[in-house]
Structure 1
């Protein structure tokens, strides 16, 4: 059949319109797909081996991200995927600098409007630590997924391709939004203790993946971690502990010196042979161990919630513990903690939580998380008729359970029922004890602000007072000064160094004062225990 020219033109226009509509539909479908960015860091998922039949011998971090994505054309049906090679290293080579750079890149991508999800390919050795770190420092509701593999892509039993497909599917799913940093693994040969609960609703496209969600922490964790890594640690690293000796006293076996016995010396170090020859008591001085164990005995009773918003005594406690823990663990030392609530209503429970000493970065993050967790905050909220804090319970628990000589930080405001002095002194005889006292200036002197309501943080009892009354303010200051004198005398008798941290004090300056105190104690060990006030002036109280 012959088509007339006008009919041919019409048919051509119809066909062109049909093709244009199809192209528009394809373009619209592609535009409707979520955009997922894959950040590659290396690891086994990017590994390659010489033999496909041998998955044990291979080299990690060999395959670039563009080749990984090119080997998975099925991703085009899930999302619009683009790749970026951030690092090409094995996961055991991850350093703090790598973590910070990765966190900055993920944070920047999460703020881009054209990015809907982020996938990080990672080695399995430090995968959980990286996921936990990103969960702390990146604030976004967009899905962030960390993925790895147990075998390289060249192996016959390779699992990386399926894991990456599942990770992109999760990152492209709206159900994964707002769940924090996720980890997807098809094959899970071991339990991941640093990951918490399974997603309540797993995206339908990822039925074969094992998906774990990390708990979202309060905003304080983000600020604290940034302070720890960028502001504090870099200024203090190397001051608390050098490459060969720690400023903390260890339990070394190498004899360094002999000197005359002084008050507060450990009687177990007396050298009886030298004492008999010279007719004067002498003690052995040992070279400190390069590795040490530090324990934090933490008072989380209601009174430590006192202070300015965002800078209360509890905030000071959390910052001090986080920074000092990280300083110690960076050099292989172990840190543990005992948490005492004091207001739990269970008198028989001396300690609420015990974290055994470990040296990993994840352990420090776990400790910080426990201090920032809602249940820890609830313990610092007083109730009417609540019992007074009994700090001696925490100290006796530490005395009974800490067998190996350690450095012990007792962090408290020491607002407690009487009886804590003796167990603190006993603890100081066995261990190197530092009493970290938390205080707020308003606990020492009231301002003239008129009629206010005062509430006892321990019992919940309330009392209205008129701060316009100058005589009342003088009585308050006098009683506070008397309590200060009794408290400092008790700490001096216990033989423990004392560091006072105020809510209006700078944490870095306070830690620098503490390190200066430790340096002076190492250089002149025969002195009495030191007390450093928030102003930085050191006083050497007379031992009783």
Structure 2
């Protein structure tokens, strides 16, 4: 796996779990966020003595600081493995999905968070299911199992079947796909995941449009069905294809906007720094 900086993801909500982690939680415990100032008899820990509050108390009570626990998140990746994810242009799309999942697994472990993964095409892949848990070897598990995966199937409805496997408590969920889905399918998935914090990761390849021949005979192939067609490339056809791609991106962005988010677009190779920047902009 390529050595890249860790992904510093950030959520706008506070986890309620008691497992220590890197995110600001809402339960009392060790952390860096002051919760309240309480009497020493109620919280007998003299290491957290609040000298100023104690000196100001006319009844000479001893006061200590109480903090919120830094809690762990559950980070879950849902990966589309339908046939279109097998596209190979400038990059291998399924390999990019593997890189994203493995880097998230490594970053989650370094942050003290749980990591889980589910892959699906037309049906959920039972051999590639990792329930969320703290696991130092999760990124190795991802690389091992992705090596056996094959992109196949005409759609990714199996991702809908993965939703019941997710925890009931709110999680950070990444949906990795090119989103070449029938109309309404993304909206349906986002609706089922609306309880969670969802980050759609949209995979693109420059070779799909930017590197098509300007003129001459070309073979356009439907990666979902495998059907190919000879066409005579010309400026009007190329513009039509560019417009269709722009409309596809617009449809994905609109579906995400309805549920309060925006997609993270990966153009070619994946960069952890750009995903960290996405979270910084999202939290601004």
Calculate the TM-score normalised by the size of structure 2. 0.73
Match of 1:293 in 2: 74
Equivalent-residue separation in structure 2 for 1:351 and 1:402 (angstroms): 18
Does structure 1 residue 322 correspond to structure 2 residue 102?
yes
Match of 2:173 in 1: 408
Match of 1:254 in 2: 26
Match of 2:121 in 1: 341
Does structure 1 residue 302 correspond to structure 2 residue 83?
yes
Distance 1:314 1:449, change over 3 A: farther
Deviation at 1:442, TM superposition (A): 3.4
Match of 1:115 in 2: none
User: Given that residues 249 and 289 in structure 1 are in contact (C-alpha distance below 8 angstroms), is that contact kept between their aligned partners in structure 2?
Assistant: no
Match of 1:518 in 2: 279
- Map 1:230-269; keep pairs closer than 5 Å: 231-232=3-4, 236-237=5-6, 240=8, 249-252=13-16, 254=26
Equivalent-residue separation in structure 2 for 1:359 and 1:500 (angstroms): 27
Equivalent-residue separation in structure 2 for 1:365 and 1:493 (angstroms): 36
How many pairs does the alignment contain?
A: 236
Does structure 1 residue 452 correspond to structure 2 residue 218?
yes
Specify the SS of the correspondent of 1:254: strand
Specify the SS of the correspondent of 1:424: helix
Specify the SS of the correspondent of 1:408: strand
Match of 2:129 in 1: 354
Q: Deviations over 1:285-324 (max 9, x none)?
A: xx78531111110001111121336x22112111111112
- Map 1:331-480; keep pairs closer than 5 Å: 331-342=111-122, 349-352=123-126, 353-373=128-148, 376=149, 379-380=150-151, 388-391=154-157, 393-399=158-164, 401-445=166-210, 446-448=212-214, 450-467=216-233, 469-480=234-245
Equivalent-residue separation in structure 1 for 2:101 and 2:114 (angstroms): 13
Equivalent-residue separation in structure 1 for 2:275 and 2:69 (angstroms): 18
Equivalent-residue separation in structure 1 for 2:247 and 2:138 (angstroms): 41
Deviation at 1:411, TM superposition (A): 0.4
User: Given that residues 102 and 138 in structure 2 are in contact (C-alpha distance below 8 angstroms), is that contact kept between their aligned partners in structure 1?
Assistant: no
Match of 1:313 in 2: 93
Q: Deviations over 1:335-389 (max 9, x none)?
A: 11111133xxxxxx3444321123223232112111112xx1xx315xxxxx521
User: Given that residues 297 and 398 in structure 1 are in contact (C-alpha distance below 8 angstroms), is that contact kept between their aligned partners in structure 2?
Assistant: no
Distance 1:521 1:488, change over 3 A: closer
Equivalent-residue separation in structure 2 for 1:483 and 1:396 (angstroms): 24
The structure carrying a bigger helix percent of its residues is 1
User: Given that residues 322 and 368 in structure 1 are in contact (C-alpha distance below 8 angstroms), is that contact kept between their aligned partners in structure 2?
Assistant: yes
Match of 1:217 in 2: none
Q: Deviations over 1:27-51 (max 9, x none)?
A: xxxxxxxxxxxxxxxxxxxxxxxxx
* Consecutive unaligned residues in structure 2, runs of 5 or more: 17-24, 28-32, 35-67
Structure with higher Rg: it is: 1
Equivalent-residue separation in structure 1 for 2:274 and 2:218 (angstroms): 36
Match of 2:43 in 1: none
Distance 1:426 1:395, change over 3 A: same
Q: Deviations over 1:91-138 (max 9, x none)?
A: xxxxxxxxxxxxxxxxxxxxxxxxxxxxxxxxxxxxxxxxxxxxxxxx
* Consecutive unaligned residues in structure 1, runs of 5 or more: 1-223, 258-286, 343-348, 382-386, 525-544
Equivalent-residue separation in structure 2 for 1:494 and 1:247 (angstroms): 15
Equivalent-residue separation in structure 2 for 1:296 and 1:501 (angstroms): 15
